Amino acid sequence: MHSFLNRLKNFAILAAAQVLLFNHIHLFGYATAYIYLLFILKMPRFATRNEQMLWAFALGLIVDMFGNTPGINAAAATMLAFMRNYILAMFIPNGMTEDFVPGTKVLRWGAYISYAAISITLFCIVLFMLELFTLTRPMHLAIGVAGSTLLTLLFVTVIESFNKGSR
């Protein structure tokens, strides 16, 4: 029960940060940081896939409601939640059997950043493809995906190092 409330708190904080702050920051007109992905990245290793997808869908939908993009963030976040366990499995050290929250306390920096980078790239590709559905501008897609992925990864790294420092 305690962990549920804790998760709800993180959910609210990340949703608010995304819609009130990060959605309004766009570097060079292309790159936006999707900071709310931290919620999915920080799901415990043994969280069930259904659980992850339902949380991700709800969070994506709220971001959509505030950004006038109904369904787009929800679809991309659900996709990421569906794939996350596969991605995380690539970076779990040999012999590790217990449950953990992905982060630099457990994983090496390189492993954590790679895990985050692959996840965020996947999310951004799906997001921008859905957004540009009607447009045939491959350059916009490429710049948008690359810019947003790098910016999100930058924030994820900064937040991780702060988290580590405070412990």
Partner 1 sequence: MRALFNFLVKHNDWFLFLLLEGISLVLIVRFNNYQSATFFTSAGSMAGSVYSMFMDANRYFHLKTENDGLLAQNVALTRELSQLKEQLTELRNSETLLNDSLVKSIDSGYRFLTANIINNSLNSVNNFITLNKGSDDGVRPEMGVFNSDGIVGVVYLTSKNRSIVIPLLNSKSSISCRVKGSESFCSLSWDGGDTRYSNLIDLPRYAQFEKGDTVVTSGFSSIFPGDLPVGTVERIEDSADGMFYTVRVKLFVDFSRLTSVFIVGNDDYEEQSQLEQEITKILK
| Stretch binding partner 1 (CB under 8 A), from 6-14, 78-86, 117-125, 155-163 | 78-86
> Minimum Å distance from CB 89 to partner 1?
15
Which residues have C-beta within 8 Å of that of residue 15, sequence separation ≥ 6? 36, 59, 62, 63
Which has the closest alpha carbon to 157: 127, 121, 114, 126? 114
> Minimum Å distance from CB 4 to partner 1?
19
Q: Long-range contacts made by residues 7-13, C-beta under 8 angstroms, separation at least 24?
A: 7/55, 10/39, 10/42, 11/39, 11/55, 11/58, 11/59
Which residue in the block uniquely carries the two structure tokens 């690359």?
146
Q: Which of 12, 44, 46, 71 binds partner 1 (CB under 8 A)?
A: 71
> Minimum Å distance from CB 147 to partner 1?
10
132 binds partner 1 (CB under 8 A): yes
What does the alpha-carbon distance between residue 61 and residue 75 come to, in Å, rounded to a whole number? Answer: 9
105 binds partner 1 (CB under 8 A): no
Letter for the amino acid at 22? Answer: F
50 binds partner 1 (CB under 8 A): yes
23 binds partner 1 (CB under 8 A): yes
57 binds partner 1 (CB under 8 A): yes
Q: Which is nearer to partner 1, 82 or 155 (CB)?
A: 82
